[in-house]
């Protein structure tokens, strides 16, 4: 419950009931990183733009196709078609794993590198190629892939960042070109060092100059909508960031800064703290943070080692369930708990989008770049339970093709989903219920199910 996306009706049979069964199942997912991948051809946009090269025909969500839509002013709302196709592919992926620990890691990193609808045509592609492809690889590789993805470039306005002393600025003085600090600041504050990571405003300014010229190719280029380095827009000369001078040419300068930020001890501390807050507790112990940070540093940012170390923290298994499950994870867990199949997920994706927005928790939708908080107080709003109760009833009643819903009576399903967490009181209430339509929401709204 805490580490995954929620159990399925047959989870206990698949995972087993031994003391280490859940750990072994999570570890098995870590040993199969390919399971996190979603290929371009698995994301088919059904309603292509009525302009070349698509002319209204279905097309895969490749970098070229997403980019062409993203920078074409005539694409209209077809960027929404891409978004919906990417979103549907994710929902289908959510119901596949036994536990969903790997998918939870993807969602963690998606939130860590938070973006929103401002970069809508590229959002799913960034998750698939920058996050999923590196979720158990090297953090430095993931960071570089995210920062050079057009989704992040567009979201944090680096496409307009031009050095004041660059050839482009000197050639066109009337345009009053300036560097933009958004991307540099958020890389330091949110993605690597953390808000108290020891950097200064001067470091942000210097790093922003390093990143000038990191842009998105325009519609007239051979690779429209894709990342491109524009040397004419780059601020020339060496820059000093965190006391180190970087004088490398062109892209190499920025990549060197990113590499050093990715391997910085403060980055290890920041990421360790966030991982524990996301998966285990609002108040990570110094010992747990140190353990995870040390693994990060000693393994040079290897995320498989860090994720495995997270699994091996005793607190991951002994910390009392004291936090309400975040809305989006809770909603996804219901679809898994009801035994939804791929067709049902595709048919109901639009509903889940609406429900997620009602609850104020939907990936790719947080307006500010800091991502959704993990703090329990943020989610325990005055109407949180009322809204969830309404949604749980709707999810059950709109389960397309479910025979008597999951094919199990509520008390039996509760035992399969909750195991030893099922209390006699809840079991008695579910057994006594004469209406499954009411009993299933009672299960999903129970403290035993809500808390993680």
Mean pLDDT for each consecutive 10-residue tract of the chain (452 residues)? Answer: 90 78 95 97 84 76 94 87 94 95 98 94 97 98 98 97 97 95 98 97 98 97 97 98 98 98 98 98 98 98 98 96 94 92 89 90 92 96 90 74 63 91 94 86 94 91
Task: Give the three-class secondary structure for 241.
Answer: strand
What are 272's two structure tokens? 């360790």
As a whole number of angstroms, the distance between CA 187 and CA 85 comes to 28
Q: Compute CA distances 322 → 50, 87, 247, whole Å.
A: 51, 30, 50
The H-or-E segment that residue 246 falls in is: strand 244-246
Longest dimension (CA), the chain: 79
3 state SS of 51: coil
* Pairing status of strand 214-216 against strand 59-60: unpaired
Tell me whether residue 341 is exposed, middle or buried, using C-beta atoms within 10 angstroms of its C-beta: 0 to 12, 13 to 18, 19 or more: middle
- pLDDT for 397 equals 73
pLDDT computed for residue 404 by the predictor: 44
Q: Are 68 and 218 in contact (CB under 8 A)?
A: no
State residue 395's pLDDT score.
81
pLDDT given for residue 351 in this prediction: 87
* Residues 355-373: b if buried by 16+ CB within 10 A, e if exposed: bbebbbbbbbbbeebebbe
Q: Where are the domains of the chain?
A: 33-142, 158-262, 265-318, 327-450
Residue for token digits 């699994």? 311
Phi, psi of 21 (to 5 degrees): -60, -45
CA dihedral 80, 84, 85, 87 (to 10 degrees): 130
Identify which of 121, 270, 114 has the alpha carbon closest to the alpha carbon of residue 198.
270
SS3 category, 214: strand
Q: How far apart are CA 340 and CA 399, in angstroms?
A: 8
419: left (phi over 0), alpha (psi -120 to 50) or beta: left
Beta bridge partners of 214: 229
The pLDDT assigned to 401 comes to 45
What are 68's two structure tokens? 């062409």
pTM as predicted: 0.96
- CA-to-CA distance for 183 and 163, rounded, in angstroms? 14
Cα-only R_g, the chain: 23
Map residue 215 onto helix, strand or coil: strand
Cβ burial of 390 (10 Å; 0-12, 13-18, 19+) is middle
pLDDT of residue 57: 80
Q: Which spans in 191-285 are helix H? A: 201-210, 251-262, 265-279
How far is residue 425 from each of residues 337, 411, 421, measured CA to CA in Å?
20, 11, 11
Contact 295, 303 (CB under 8 A): no
């Amino acid at each position: 419950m805490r580490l995954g996306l929620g159990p399925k009706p047959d989870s206990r049979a698949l995972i087993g009931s031994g003391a280490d069964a859940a750990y072994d199942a999570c570890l098995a997912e870590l040993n199969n990183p390919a399971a996190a991948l979603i290929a371009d051809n698995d994301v088919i946009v059904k309603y292509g733009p009525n302009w070349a090269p698509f002319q209204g025909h279905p097309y895969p969500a490749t970098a070229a196709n997403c980019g062409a839509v993203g920078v074409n002013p005539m694409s209209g709302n077809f960027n929404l078609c891409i978004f919906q196709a990417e979103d549907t592919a994710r929902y289908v992926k959510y119901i596949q794993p036994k536990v969903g620990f790997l998918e939870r890691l993807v969602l963690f990193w998606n939130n860590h590198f938070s973006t929103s609808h401002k970069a809508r045509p590229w959002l799913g592609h960034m998750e698939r190629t920058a996050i999923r492809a590196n979720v158990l690889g090297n953090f430095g590789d993931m960071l570089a892939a995210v920062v050079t993805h057009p989704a992040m470039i567009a979201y944090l306005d680096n496409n307009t960042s031009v050095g004041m002393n660059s050839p482009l600025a000197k050639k066109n003085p009337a345009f009053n070109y300036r560097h933009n600090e958004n991307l540099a600041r958020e890389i330091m504050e949110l993605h690597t060092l953390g808000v108290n990571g020891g950097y200064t405003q001067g470091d942000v300014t210097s790093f922003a100059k390093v990143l000038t010229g990191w842009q998105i190719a325009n519609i007239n280029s051979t690779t429209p909508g894709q990342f491109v380095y524009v040397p004419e827009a780059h601020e020339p000369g060496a820059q000093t960031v965190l006391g180190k001078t970087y004088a490398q040419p062109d892209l190499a300068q920025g990549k060197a800064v990113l590499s050093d930020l990715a391997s910085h001890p403060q980055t290890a501390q920041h990421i360790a703290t966030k991982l524990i807050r996301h998966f285990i507790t609002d108040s990570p112990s110094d010992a747990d943070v140190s353990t995870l940070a040390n693994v990060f540093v000693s393994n040079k940012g290897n995320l498989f080692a860090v994720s495995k170390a997270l699994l091996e923290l005793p607190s991951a298994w002994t910390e009392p369930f004291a936090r309400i499950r975040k809305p989006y994870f809770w909603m996804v867990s219901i679809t898994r708990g009801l035994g939804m199949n791929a067709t049902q997920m595709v048919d109901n994706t639009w509903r889940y989008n609406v429900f997620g927005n009602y609850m104020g928790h939907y990936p790719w939708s947080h307006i500010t770049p800091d991502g959704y908080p993990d703090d329990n107080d943020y989610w325990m709003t005055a109407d949180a339970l009322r809204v969830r109760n309404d949604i749980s009833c709707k999810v059950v009643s709109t389960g397309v093709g479910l025979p008597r819903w999951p094919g199990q009576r509520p008390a039996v399903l509760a035992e399969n989903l909750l195991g030893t967490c099922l209390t006699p009181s809840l079991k008695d209430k579910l057994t006594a219920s004469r209406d499954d339509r009411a009993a299933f929401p009672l299960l999903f709204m129970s403290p035993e199910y809500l808390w993680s």
